[in-house]
Structure 1
């Protein structure tokens, strides 16, 4: 009898012990794989900078470099890095995308090519399950609209970025805020070389301010004097473009009111200014299922 009581006592004690000290299981989480990034237009100045920036960034890696020049060269060496990346520059985007698709990894194609090739490039990337970032100056609105329709149907993320500069996006946002408080505004820009003037940046600021619906510079609406700059739109916003070799690319927006002048300015000294915005865009675009226009949507 005593033996049976002892066994009962031991069983009860063991049960209590199991309840107060539950077994602990250590389930290891599989490491998250890096975002695979393909740079299309890899040998351009901005493409080389992008290769180096992505390589240094956490959570992503260069898995492909595409261009028609320096084919076969190592992407790291072409970008001025100390060590090779063992990623050759290829001139076949489909081949690069296919190798990434086989790994079933999350991927992004960064497109620095030409307006005429953007639509086909984004479609190719989507066919292999990769999102796209498009930074291609002079891209037409018709192309952006076609991309938007395609991405909506394909449920695939795409960013079309007029600029990748965080500073210029902040300048635009500050200019919109200021425009509600001032009735006089002029844009002054400087560029080291003549190109399309007024620049796309100046035009974008003018479009943003026009969308507010105000009429600016009411006391100086005349357009007869060429020295007064070009009027953009019908609301009196003027832009003055200064072109001198050696100048940084600079954009200033000058507002004035009674007794004060408020000036916003953004200078670009080299292509590195686009890299923080690019890294943000790569991290954000993989979560999208449609097209977004403008880096500001990610800030």
Structure 2
């Protein structure tokens, strides 16, 4: 789609003995207009899917173009999200049908995958077949799946972001932990959740922090690295990083990293109140993934 662009150019004044009135001239050209990124949300009826619909609707340069879920099929996604006006986008349970319909517009499109580890690989393959990039935020996704997706995206020269977390605060905590790890020889991670909610523990966030500060040249907690007392928490990796997981109703989702040495304790903490904290990271992921030509693991690599 093109827009008519016109510019006014004043004439250069020259000697005009007869005082003839000189008018500016107008030049016009056809320039393409920038179209919005069309976003398809797979898992739209979930809490994070509904939050994503609202956030994308408010964001500049993008729009909700499709909603896929096995629940609430046929209902308008705007009404499901308690928006003031309907979006006239019904929830559908056929991803291929939605992708095929959106692909006809020839616009840039991104598929958000909030589904299940068992379906991610096929979902990304389908999106790629229609020339669309993917942002995957699926807890408990296996690294074998990530490796297979990376090889597939490399062959297809198609961008994909697999994000263990979309929380920018969580990423900043991880970066601070890496910086601190060079200065302390004792570290333990304590995380809390209000309910297990089908999650594995230690959580993906805690495991990623432990992995990030592992293999940096020294072993932590040397005095009890070999202790097999279960109350001491689980050792993640080979460098002695211990993780403790608290599951108690009423606790916020929180991650704390404690570094210490004699006479000093350095604590980094990040609390998540609700799913809204993931939306700035999600919007950033959508804007960045359209430029990728391969798989990137971790939103922090795009900050």
Same fold (TM over 0.5): yes
Task: Give how far 1:258 is off.
Answer: 3.6
Of the two, which has the highest radius of gyration?
1
TM-score by length of 2: 0.89
Aligned pairs for 1:277-296 (under 5 A) are 277-296=281-300
Alignment gaps of 5+ in structure 2? 1-13, 17-22
Deviates more, 1:211-220 or 1:261-270: 211-220
Residues in 1 aligned to 2:260 and 2:180: alpha-carbon distance in whole angstroms: 10
2:127 equivalent to 1:125? yes
Instruction: Report the 3-state secondary structure (helix = DSSP H, G, I; strand = E; otherwise coil) of the residue aligned with 1:29.
Output: strand
Report if aligned partners of 1:229, 1:239 keep a CA contact under 8 Å in 2.
Answer: yes
1:55 equivalent among 54, 57, 60: 57
Find the counterpart in structure 1 of residue 200 from structure 2: 196
Alignment gaps of 5+ in structure 1? 1-11, 15-20
Residues in 1 aligned to 2:210 and 2:47: alpha-carbon distance in whole angstroms: 28
Residues in 2 aligned to 1:136 and 1:296: alpha-carbon distance in whole angstroms: 16
Residues in 2 aligned to 1:68 and 1:224: alpha-carbon distance in whole angstroms: 44
1:177 equivalent among 176, 179, 191: 179
Residues in 2 aligned to 1:211 and 1:24: alpha-carbon distance in whole angstroms: 66
Aligned length: 282
Task: Give how far 1:168 is off.
Answer: 0.5
TM-score by length of 1: 0.90
2:45 equivalent among 23, 43, 46: 43
Find the counterpart in structure 2 of residue 27 from structure 1: 29
Task: Give how far 1:200 is off.
Answer: 1.4
Task: Give how far 1:28 is off.
Answer: 5.4
Find the counterpart in structure 1 of residue 240 from structure 2: 236
Aligned pairs for 1:110-259 (under 5 A) are 110-194=112-196, 195-259=199-263
Report if aligned partners of 1:223, 1:231 keep a CA contact under 8 Å in 2.
Answer: no
